[in-house]
Amino acid sequence: MKGIDILLKYLNDNGVRYQVLTHVPAFSAHQAAVASHVPESELAKTLLVKAGEQHWMVVTRADQRVNEKLLKEVLEAKHVGLAHEEELETQFPDCEVGAMPPFGNLYDLPVIMDTSLEEDEEIVFNACSHTESIKLRLEDYVRLVNPMIAGIAEPRVGTEPHSA
């Protein structure tokens, strides 16, 4: 079963209303926002980080970047770093590399979400593919995933659209 099929079954089984957005291939959060016709502030960017020996799914707005110092403090870790591409392939075998949805609970991963996402009623995120995104209500996402919510991100500065 493809990743999007697993995700849609999970949403349907839990009575969540959602919309699938099909778009041109997008390989960065900025490109996905443009392709999905949503503001970057409403697009949830999903990252896999390693904090100490533990992998975490980190979810921020696309127009933000993770503040490593804040993330280390919240996760009480000495070292935090982005996972390598090989780790993404292993952890998310049903998704295109870098297109994992922010549902760590489907992958046995704890999730931490930045507080800035709480500003919107809906979020849009990759659906295991670079050509499909899903839009749903934030309260449904939080109910299903039960992420840790903390201030771990800050606005991107300059021309760093690909930074964490």
DSSP string, 54-83: EEEEEEEETTEEE-HHHHHHHHT-S-EEEP
Give how far the C-alpha of residue 129 lies from the chain's centroid of Cα atoms, to the nearest Å: 13
Q: Tell me, what's the pLDDT at 31? A: 85
Domain 3-155 classified CATH 3.90.1150.10?
Answer: no
Residue 41 class from Cβ within 10 Å (0-12 exposed, 13-18 middle, 19+ buried)?
Answer: middle
Q: Tell me, what's the pLDDT at 70? A: 96
Q: What whole-number distance in Å separates Cα of residue 83 and Cα of residue 49?
A: 5
Q: Tell me, what's the pLDDT at 159? A: 43
Judge whether 34 and 40 are in contact, CB under 8 Å.
no
Q: What whole-number distance in Å separates Cα of residue 111 and Cα of residue 103?
A: 8
Q: Tell me, what's the pLDDT at 51? A: 93
- Written as one letter, the residue type at 101 is P
pTM: 0.90
Map out the domains of the chain as residue ranges: 3-155
Listed in sequence order, the residues at least 6 apart from 24 whose beta carbon sits closer than 8 Å to its beta carbon are 35, 131
Q: Tell me, what's the pLDDT at 160? A: 45
Structural element, H or E, at residue 111: strand 111-114
In tens digits, what is the pLDDT along the chain, a chain of 164 residues? Answer: 688 899 999 999 999 999 999 999 888 888 888 888 888 888 999 999 999 889 999 999 999 999 999 999 999 999 999 998 889 999 999 999 989 999 999 999 999 999 999 998 999 999 999 999 999 999 999 999 999 999 999 988 754 444 45
Listed in sequence order, the residues at least 6 apart from 163 whose beta carbon sits closer than 8 Å to its beta carbon are 65, 156
